[in-house]
Structure formats: C-alpha cells, structure tokens
C-alpha cells in the first residue's frame, strides 16, 4: 500500500514538473520545474531497484546539467517567451499529435501480449542495480559502448568550446582568416 502511495505522489510530481516545463512562460522557471521533475523521476527509479541510476540522476542531471542550463539562461536572459502566436498552425496541431501518440502508446501497452507487464517484475537478487553490478556490466558486457560514450563526451566538450568561442578574437589572431561576413554585430 505504501508503495502505491509513493508511486502516485512521485508520478503526480513528475507530470506536474513536465507540464511546468512546457507551460511556464519564463525559461528560468521551466528549468526549475525540470529539476523537480528529475527528482521525482529519481524516486521512481528507486522503486524500480535502480539505485545507482537514481543517485546518478540527482548528482549528474539535477546537479550538473541543470546548473549549466541555469548559467546559460541567466547569460542569454530569461526573456518572457509567449507561446506560438494564434496564427501558427503547428501550435494547434502539435498538442493533437502528442495526444494521438499518447492514445496510441496506451493502447499498445494495455493491449500488448507481454504477460509480465502486469507483474511486479522478475525476482531479482539483493545486489540488483547496485554500483557494483552496474560497474561489472559496464566493464565486462558493455565495454565497447562504455568507451564509445567516453569518446562521445570528449567530442561534445571540444565541440561546445569550438561553437561558443569568441569569433572576433579568433579572427584577429588568424589575421582575418574567416570571411568578412563571419561576424555580424
């Protein structure tokens, strides 16, 4: 019984956070709503016996990535951003698409032949989802994806530095290597 209560509270918080991200006008509040959403999701991960991922979700996502968002939002200026003007066709059709997809997935899940969907899941040993098990899987069964992910992170870091660099400073040191149209001030 306590499990159901925790699930419904966390699920309601997660959906409320998601709606807040989409509906709030100020991007800064959207970021804060996403932090609440991520914390609620971490509780759900714990209920699914994914303790390491719940901790990683809080530390990496709600901690590091959201701080990045807050910095960029403060830098760019959280201007109030109206939803699409009434004339936009996508603004009217977009939510309909989302609703259609939701109905589709719900029908697919409830009508699926997966008998295990209506159970609590398979019986698992006590160490399931612990850092030890995740580490063992990462370094034995999934070594190649693990290395690829680390390389991807390196590429993304270098790419972000290249994208966000000061172009004018670079042009000066290059001696005008870029075309004159490169900087529009």
Partner 1 sequence: MDIAWFVILSAFIFCIGMAGVLTRRNPLVILLCLELMLNAANLALIAFGRMHGSGDGQIFALIVVVVAACEVVVGLGLIVAIYRRRLPIDVDELSELRG
> For residues 161 and 177, which CB has a smaller minimum distance to partner 1 in the complex?
161
Query: x-or-dash pattern for partner 1, window 25-44, by CB under 8 A?
Result: --x--xx--x--xx--x--x
Binding flag, residue 131, partner 1 (CB under 8 A): no
Residues in 100-119 at the binding interface with partner 1, rule: CB under 8 A = 101-102, 105-106, 109-110, 114, 116-119
Q: What is the distance between the alpha carbons of residues 22 and 31, in angstroms, rounded to a whole number? A: 10
> For residues 99 and 175, which CB has a smaller minimum distance to partner 1 in the complex?
99
Binding flag, residue 22, partner 1 (CB under 8 A): yes
9, 67, 74, 152: residue in contact with partner 1 (rule CB under 8 A): 152
Cβ(92)–Cβ(77) below 8 Å: no
C-beta of 181: minimal distance to partner 1 in Å? 8
67, 74, 141, 147: residue in contact with partner 1 (rule CB under 8 A): 141
Binding flag, residue 132, partner 1 (CB under 8 A): no
Q: Which of 46, 48, 44, 53 is nearest to 8 (CA)?
A: 44
C-beta of 175: minimal distance to partner 1 in Å? 21
Binding flag, residue 149, partner 1 (CB under 8 A): yes
Binding flag, residue 13, partner 1 (CB under 8 A): no
C-beta of 177: minimal distance to partner 1 in Å? 16
How many other C-beta atoms are found inside a 10 Å radius of the C-beta of residue 120? 7
Binding flag, residue 68, partner 1 (CB under 8 A): yes
- How many chain residues bind partner 1 (CB under 8 A)? 93
Name the burial class of residue 79, with classes exposed (0-12), middle (13-18) and buried (19+) by CB atoms within 10 angstroms of its CB. exposed
> For residues 174 and 185, which CB has a smaller minimum distance to partner 1 in the complex?
185
């Amino acid at each position: 019984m306590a499990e159901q209560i925790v699930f419904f509270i966390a699920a309601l918080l997660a959906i409320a956070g998601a709606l807040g991200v989409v509906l709030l006008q100020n991007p800064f509040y959207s970021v804060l709503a996403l932090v609440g959403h991520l914390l609620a999701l971490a509780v759900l991960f714990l209920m699914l016996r994914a303790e390491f991922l719940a901790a990683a979700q809080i530390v990496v996502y709600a901690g590091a990535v959201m701080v990045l968002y807050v910095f960029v939002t403060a830098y760019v200026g959280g201007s109030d951003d109206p939803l699409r003007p009434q004339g936009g066709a996508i603004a009217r059709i977009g939510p309909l698409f989302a609703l259609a997809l939701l109905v589709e997935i719900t029908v697919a899940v409830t009508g699926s032949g997966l008998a295990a969907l209506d159970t609590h899941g398979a019986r698992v040993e006590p160490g399931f989802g612990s850092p030890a098990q995740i580490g063992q899987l990462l370094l034995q069964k999934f070594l190649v994806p693990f290395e690829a992910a680390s390389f991807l992170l390196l590429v993304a870091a270098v790419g972000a530095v290249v994208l966000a660099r000061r172009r004018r400073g670079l042009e000066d040191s290059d001696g005008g290597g870029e075309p004159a149209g490169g900087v529009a001030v």
